[in-house]
Copies of this chain bind each other. A is one copy, B any other.
Amino acid sequence: MQYSDRILKTPSSFIRNILKVTDAEDVISFAGGLPNPISFPIDALKTSIDHAITTNGSRLFQYSSTQGYAPLREYIAAKYQRLHGLDIQADDVFITTGSQQALELLGKVLINKDDGIIIEEPGYLGAIQAFTLSEPTFHGVTLENDGLNLEELEQALQQPNVKCVYTVPNFQNPTGLTYSKEKREQICEIVAKYDVVLIEDDPYGELRFQGEALPYIGAGKLANSVLLGSFSKTVTPGMRLGFLITKNKELMQYIETAKQASDLHTNIFAQYVIYDYLANNDYMEHVQKIIGLYKEQSQTMLDAMAAFFPAHVDYTKPDGGMFIWATLNNGASALEVFHQAMEQKVAFVPGDPFYTNKTNVNTLRLNYTNATPEVIREGIQRLASIL
Interface size class of A (residues with CB under 8 A): 35 or more
* A61 is an interface residue with CB less than 8 A from chain B: yes
Quick one: which of A255-271 are within 8 Å of B by CB? Answer: 256-258, 260-270
Chain B positions within 8 Å of A46 at CB level: 49-50, 53
Question: Which B residues lie within 8 Å of A254 (CB)?
Answer: 3, 7
| B-contacting residues, A101-130, CB 8 Å | 101, 104, 108-113, 115, 126, 129-130
Asked if A81 lies at the interface with its beta carbon under 8 angstroms from chain B, I say no
Given the interface pairs A61-B37, A112-B5, A239-B269, the reply to whether A66 lies near B263 with Cβ below 8 Å is no
Alpha-carbon separation in the docked complex, A35 to B108 (Å): 30
B261 near A240: Cβ-Cβ < 8 Å: no
Identical subunits present: 2
On whether the beta carbons of A63 and B238 are closer than 8 Å, the reply is yes
A63 touches B237 (CB 8 A): yes
Contact A7 B257 (CB under 8 A): yes
Is A281 located at the chain interface by the 8 A CB criterion? no
B10 pairs with A250, CB closer than 8 A: no
Query: Which residue of B has the minimal Cβ distance to A273?
Result: B269
Query: Is A16 part of the binding interface, using a Cβ–Cβ cutoff of 8 Å?
Result: yes
CB of A54 to closest CB in B, whole Å: 10
Q: Is A85 an interface residue (CB 8 A)?
A: no
**Chain B residue, CB-CB nearest to A255:** B7
Q: Is A163 close to B, CB under 8 A?
A: yes
How long is the Cα–Cα vector from A284 to B141 in the complex, in angstroms?
57
Given contacts A260-B13, A263-B100, A270-B269, contact A237 B37 (CB under 8 A): no
Partner of A248, one of B1, B35, B113: B1
Q: Are A238 and B12 in contact (CB under 8 A)?
A: no
Knowing A3-B254, A4-B108, the reply to whether A129 touches B270 (Cβ < 8 A) is no
A133 is an interface residue with CB less than 8 A from chain B: yes
Give A169 Cβ to nearest chain B Cβ, in Å. 22
A360 to B111, CA, bound (A): 33
Distance (Å) between the CB of A231 and the closest chain B CB?
11
**Do B110 and A3 touch across chains, with their CB atoms under 8 A apart?**
yes
Segment 12-68 of A: residues with Cβ below 8 Å from B? 12-13, 16, 34-35, 37, 40, 42, 45-46, 49-50, 53, 57-64, 66
A366 within 8 A of B: no
Tell me, rounded to whole Å, the shortest Cβ–Cβ distance linking A176 to chain B. 19
Which residue numbers of A lie inside 8 Å of B, CB to CB? 1-7, 10-13, 16, 34-35, 37, 40, 42, 45-46, 49-50, 53, 57-64, 66, 96-98, 100-101, 104, 108-113, 115, 126, 129-130, 132-134, 161, 163, 195, 197, 224, 232, 236-240, 248, 250-251, 253-254, 256-258, 260-270
Q: In the complex, given contacts A10-B258, A133-B261, what are 10 additional A-B residue pairs having Cβ atoms less than 8 angstroms apart?
A: A2-B161, A3-B250, A45-B61, A46-B53, A61-B236, A97-B263, A101-B263, A126-B261, A130-B261, A240-B264
